[in-house]
Amino acid sequence: MKAGFIQFTPELCNVDATMTRLDKLFKEAPEADLLVLPELCNSGYNFPTRKDAWGASEEISDSRFVTFLTEKCRERKMHVVSGFCERDGFKLFNSSILVGPNGFIGKYRKIHLFYNEKDIFSAGDAGLPVFTTPIGNIGMLVCFDWMFPEVWRILALKGADVICHTSALVLPGFAQRSVPVHALINHVYVITANRTGTEHGLTFTGMSTVANPKGEVVYQAAAASDEVSAFNFDLELVRNKFITPRNHIFEDRRPEAYEELLHL
Ligand code: ACM
């Protein structure tokens, strides 16, 4: 699998401007099977009010942004994971969507909401799915989920080859430092696609990161510029969970010793 990210600045509450920017970046992109875009890519991030978020949200089944991504995937024979401001009934979710050449495949709804997101979005209620695709097994997390090791572990145990981490990170490099460790201890590839720019005083930290199952940083982008990158991923490496001939990182787990975790 060849996979990477598009780091850029979506335009707050202006999906047309965002699609114009993305169109140009897709044209500059290297050939890839999978590209990951930032959090809330169709809407921007720092909404002054929930009403602004509502106005910028879309239903997945009636989304110009999903149609746009589908066209790109069809043209380029690829898959895309993107952050998505999702409307469902009266609720808003900070979601990630997986799109392929035949359209929408699946979604994840951000479980751990960050700061003012708690005034706008409902916490994710759609579990932690892993999608089997012709290019590999894809799991998704969104930004502040980086802080919670449990969700990374669940996706890895469900067979994710790549965890696509759509992001709008604002804390100084914390997530970028944690991502190679999540990749190492779960023996998966991770793509953190972060965004750039400033919205209403909030500056995003860029430094999108690709990490491999050995915990190595394959690549880290600059803090403030647009970037499109893709790298070769070794699916045989990721699926072999032995770290020594006698240590399989999943079979050596002792879930009965962790039961307390449910009650603490
Ligand atoms: C974040 O979760 N957007 C920091």
pLDDT digits (tens, 9 = 90+) for 73-103: 999 999 999 999 999 999 999 999 999 999 9
Task: Give catalytic status of residue 199 as yes or no.
Answer: no
Which member of 39, 86, 199, 227 is catalytic? 39
Number of domains composing the chain: 1
pLDDT value, residue 260:
94
Q: Which domain holds residue 47?
A: 2-263
* 143 is known as an active-site residue: yes
Confidence label for 259 from pLDDT (cuts 50, 70 and 90): very high
39 is catalytic: yes
Residue 171 Cα: closest atom of ligand 1: 4
Q: Check pocket membership of 1 for ligand 1, CB cut-off 6 A.
A: no
211 CA → ligand 1 middle, Å:
19
169 in contact with ligand 1, CB cutoff 6 A:
yes
- Is residue 147 very low, low, confident or very high in pLDDT (cuts 50, 70, 90)? very high
Residue 71: give its domain's CATH number. 3.60.110.10
pTM (2 d.p.): 0.98
Cα–Cα distance for residue pair 256/37, rounded to 1 Å: 38
